[in-house]
Copies of this chain bind each other. A is one copy, B any other.
Amino acid sequence: MIDLDELQLAARNHGMPLELLRDPITPAGLHYLLIHFDIPHVDADTWRLEIGGLVRQPLSLSLAELRARPARTIPVTLECAGNGRALIPDHTPSQPWLREAVGTAEWTGTPLAPILAEAGLADSVCELVFTGLDRGIQHEIEHDYARSLRVAEALGEDVLLAYEMNGAPLPPQHGFPVRLVVPGWYGMAHVKWLRAITAIADEFEGYQQAGTYRIMRFEDDVDGPPVERMLPRSLLVPPGIPDFLSRERHLAAGRVVLRGRGWSGQAPVERVEVSDDGGATWAEAELEPPLGPYAWRGFSFGWDAAPGEYELCCRATDGAGNTQPPEPAWNYGGFCNNAVQRIRVSVSAR
């Protein structure tokens, strides 16, 4: 059960309808969206990115200047750190995702590391703070949305200042004109509507870094481990046709190829298993070739569906040995719920 506050968030933010798992690249309008405050209106002609703080040469870059730099395009799976929150009992009220807060886009931008090299980080720099143009109040603190990365993470060769999504300029809701892309991390790190990058000597204490996105055991537990890289997860395209309200699936008996995608920000997905009995027994799915090191990996499984009622599940395991648990691990913020998906399916005789 959710209340009006959570419903207001569910009505604003967008999940990816799970049938879109059929596509390796998610169309921009169907990619998940979590927007803390309002979508800013940005004039690209006057927008600039300011790079400052503890640097030898502060920079101020226009969109044209960023676009003139070397470009790379990388398919990256983004998932909200709160995906699955509504399935964790007694979490703090927030966006009530079930399992649909995910998407994979081809992000085009210029690598961040050479820009930081040009600015020249002082030896004392501990973190880079990325600040967006979106402003609001959370937990009674008024702030611009901002997140930090440790220097080594920020210098990663695949961290991009992205200005295109799927070959087109970023849409307003995905951070126009420029957002950060940090492959492998949950969505909160990929700061949208970027306006400043600031080098600092300490750990960033902003609300979105220190006050949330942590595995909290109780309210204001600021000592919990920070939420960073995505845990392994996999999702099936729900087979057959849906019931409008319950979303239970209906199909006729026979051979069905189940398809889905799995991902992990910890290490590549190396194995996906499928169950038709709610996880009591598992069988190996066949993996498709990878799309890239940071994108979900397709899988398929030939299922001989006999008449009856089923609970389909899938479970990804990554190269670091992490796998998905049968039930969510509780935490106050409702983060990182990578419990296995469960789909009710009713198979009728032909």
Residues of A participating in the B interface, judged by any CB pair closer than 8 Å: 1-5, 7-12, 14-15, 17, 19-20, 22, 27-30, 35-39, 41, 86, 93-94, 96-98, 100, 135-139, 142, 171-173, 238, 241-247, 250
A-B contact pairs, 24 of them (CB 8 A): A4-B86, A7-B98, A8-B98, A8-B246, A9-B245, A10-B11, A11-B15, A11-B86, A12-B15, A12-B100, A17-B38, A22-B41, A27-B172, A27-B173, A29-B30, A29-B173, A30-B39, A30-B172, A37-B241, A37-B244, A136-B242, A137-B241, A137-B242, A138-B245
Find A2's partner among B1, B22, B38, B245 (CB 8 Å cutoff): B1
Query: Which of B1, B17, B29, B172 is close to A171, meaning CB atoms less than 8 Å apart?
Result: B29
Cβ-defined contact, B173 with A11, below 8 A = no
- Which residue from chain B places its CB closest to the CB of A172 in the assembled complex? B27
CB distance from A41 to the nearest CB of B (A): 6
Do B5 and A19 touch (CB < 8 A)? no
User: A142 near B241 (CB under 8 angstroms)?
Assistant: yes
Residues on B with beta carbons closer than 8 Å to the beta carbon of A5: 245-247
> For A246, what are the chain B residues with a Cβ–Cβ distance below 8 Å?
5, 8
